[in-house]
Amino acid sequence: MQAFKHLYNDFKPENYHIFLDVNRETKRFSGDVTVTGEALTRDLAFHQKDLAITSVSVDGQAVDFTLDEVSETVAFAIAKTGKVTVAFSYSAELTDNMTGIYPSYYEVDGVKKQLVGTQFETHFARQAFPSIDEPAAKATFDLSVKFDEKAGESIVSNMPKVSNENGIHTFDTTVKMSSYLLAFVFGDMQSKLGHTKTGTQVGVFSTRAHKVAALDFPLDIAIRVIEFYEDYFKVAYPLPHSWHIGLPDFSAGAMENWGAITYREVALLADPDNSTLESRQYVALVIAHELAHQWFGDLVTMEWWDDLWLNESFANMMEYVAIDAIEPDWHIWEQFSLAEAPMALNRDAIDGVQSVHVAVNHPDEINTLFDGAIVYAKGARLMVMLRKWLGDKDFSAGLQAYFETHQYGNTVGSDLWAALSTASGRDVSAFMTSWVDQPGYPVLSVTVDGDELVLSQQQFFTGQGVDESRLWHIPLNTNWTGLPDVLSGKEVRIPGFAKLSAENGEQPLRFNAENAAHYLVNYSDELNEKVVSSIQTYDAITKVQLIQSALKLAEGGLADYAALVTLLAKFDNETANPVNAAVSQALKALEIFIDEDSASEADFKQFVGQLFDAQYKRLGWDKVAGESFNDEQLRALPISWEVYAGNADAVANSTAIFAEHASDIHSISADIRQIILKNQIVEHETAELVKQYFDAYANTTDQTFQRELNVAVSSTKNTATVAEIIAQYTNTDLVKPQDLRFWFSSLIRRDFSQDAAFAWLVKNWDWVQEKLGGDMASGDFIKVIGNSFDTAAKLTAFISFTDRFKDEPAFKRIVEMAKTQITSKIDLLASQKEKVQAALAKAV
């Protein structure tokens, strides 16, 4: 395929007039588009993909044109440069891969229905209309849509509707924006509406398959988040409305179309009668993320996809800033340390990982940029680090200046650094470039040599890695006074350690306070012993950080796994949810060393049973009126581990609760339902039970419940059930393409079902690409294999499978990183398995 040619360099669009006539029955649409803009050359090309273009005219005169499906363009010549009007007539098919214009399928009372929507990010607007489909090519849009409308149906878009004549719905002219942000949705929808304090109308839309009350929580969150952002950014939300629309079929979590945000239903709707605090927090964070994009990404847009982090890293940070502001009792930053930090630390430690800012040299590389662990999680950690370094006042002031200077325009990273530098008086570019432009992250080694404190840095790897002598500007964020603010060189030696210690009250020396920066700290044995000796006095985030660091240092060969086991044992009476969750994450990482049905498994189960016994007894199974958010969120974790450990009381209770709700398993409390469903399969699987789970999956619109059923049935120890599950992968009436990767992951992660799941993928790879090939989630199938395989034989099988596409731009990096991951796990098992098992045996 050809490398990029930026069409914006030849034609700068100013306005699009778009008319679309969509027919759901034939799955086709026709279009007429008129584009006004500035031609800089006489040989023009517009983006198009799979459009049957019948005519092209320039200033009213028909011209010859050429379609190129490789470069995805329509090319033609014009008589003169300057201001021109180009018109296209064409037709095309609705897609079935959740890009462009596509139908979502659902049922209400047994009646099959469609909700038609759009997904134009990253470069799929060209599947709907000829365009300069690049972020820098901002223009205004006048949209009119006709569709096979039925009674009670409606249509929404970025702007308010101004007319409906003869079935043609016409919307007001948009503000100047990128093509990937245009959106519309039509079908039979219900809605809830409200207003912000400044008058912006806010609405939540869904199909009628859901309770209308499920729209209340997201509406309240959306209103309050918009109000917070207007106050924080000091820049008003610029559109008349903010629509939030749940689509039954949606590949990503959500999409920030300006004024018409689209979501997976599970990321928007919240059952008021039976939802978990965790699921409501997830909905709130996604809404806050997408609303942050209305400023970061929509109002001010990256010039090209290599600066995607300007959109995603900031939005990922701001979602936590916003939710912490409007729901402080949730302590949402604890969730940041539990979710974003380990995701970033894990993937960014693999040699070959991309940097946050990365060049795009080929069209197929665009979707690979959307690496949740790097552009989102790592990028967000870097923005949190920068915010702490600058202080919130200067950070907020810099953002205000950035928005005011560049609104309705495009930027690169240096534009943001300049605004923040002006506001703070600090050289932000010098501080941040090493973090954004370099892959990986450092480990800060802290030792004492005589009376000198020695701080040094080097890149941290799990598995083999090539040390290229990279250096970072590391904010030390220490609890001691009298130390440098930043370490920029390889090493610094600070004299007078004994005096410094005395001046700081002999308290244990710690770095990276609040876990606010993206690096690990490796203390010498003596210093680490002092840190750990005071662990019970630390706040929850610090405890989480120490657990995560101990795990990563062990994985990187810089610490002993026995030390990790000893550390975990100290939390057997811990009451804080985030700390218990971090312990749980570490235990799951240890499972790789445990053989099923062996003495090591017995030791491991005894160990985890000891760890969670106190909280299991303290919290019990039932919610308590007036209990804290912490206890509400924690309860399921000790129950889950005690059931796994074989705690007789826990297993008996789980079985009894299932029996009580056997006729309506959805009615089990959402807080513990996953545990109950899984235990029933593990302990009492029958063919009838498996059928019950599949039937429940098919008949519910609750996507959280569907995922629980997926995980539960995939916990089977029956090869016939594994085969039955795999047989459903291509049954798109049951397993929607948007959910396929979750089903696949549930089986590939288990040794018992791994071979069967992998064999299915090898056989059906072309089918998977047909359904998801244009989508940014396609590479997740390769990533989860890299996270799961751990033997030489499976590495060989993986290399054989990926050989035919390993050099394709969309997969090259993902495949290489997966090979590195598998190799590192093979080495880790060879060197550490016996040591871990011995440590567990000693601990019990």
Q: Is 312 annotated as a binding residue?
A: yes
The pair of three-digit structure tokens given for residue 434, joined into one six-digit string:
């090493």
Q: Residues 245, 250, 254, 255: what is their CA dihedral angle, to the nearest 10 degrees?
A: -80
Q: Is 195 annotated as a binding residue?
A: no
Answer left, alpha or beta for residue 406, where phi above 0 means left and psi between -120 and 50 means alpha.
alpha
Contacts of 791 (CB under 8 A, 6+ apart): 826
Answer left, alpha or beta for residue 110, where phi above 0 means left and psi between -120 and 50 means alpha.
left
Contacts of 691 (CB under 8 A, 6+ apart): none
* Neighbouring C-beta atoms of residue 193, cutoff 10 Å: 13
Torsion sign (Cα): 794, 798, 801, 804 = negative
The pair of three-digit structure tokens given for residue 776, joined into one six-digit string:
């940014």
Buried residues in 632-643 as b, exposed as e (16+ CB within 10 A): bbbbbbbbbbbb
- Peptide bond just before 422 cis, omega within 30 deg: no
- Residue 202 to residue 291: CA distance in whole angstroms: 11
- Residue 192 to residue 188: CA distance in whole angstroms: 14
C-alpha dist (Å) from residue 546 to 446, 491, 549, 767? 15, 23, 5, 44
One DSSP character per residue, 723-777 reads HHHHHTTT-TTTS-GGGHHHHHHHHHTSHHHHHHHHHHHHHHHHHHHHHHTTSTT
Residue 694 DSSP label: H
Q: Catalytic residue among 227, 256, 265, 290, which?
A: 290
Contacts of 464 (CB under 8 A, 6+ apart): 351, 820, 823, 824, 827
Residue 374 DSSP label: I
- Coil/strand/helix, residue 463: coil
Q: Is 293 annotated as a binding residue?
A: yes
Q: Which residues pair with 15 in a beta bridge?
A: 36, 140
The pair of three-digit structure tokens given for residue 597, joined into one six-digit string:
């049905």
- Contact (CB, 8 A) for 491 and 454: yes
Percent of residues in the chain assigned helix, strand, coil, to nearest 5: 50, 20, 30
290 is catalytic: yes
- Contact (CB, 8 A) for 844 and 607: yes
Residue 95 dihedral angles phi and psi, to the nearest 5°: -85, 165
- Residue 564 to residue 593: CA distance in whole angstroms: 14
Contacts of 94 (CB under 8 A, 6+ apart): 22, 24, 27, 28, 29, 100, 101, 102, 103, 116
Q: Which residues pair with 29 in a beta bridge?
A: 22, 92
Q: Of 290, 291, 236, which is closest to residue 404 (Cα–Cα)?
A: 236
Binding residues: 289, 293, 312
Binding residues for Zn(2+): 289, 293, 312
Active site residues: 290
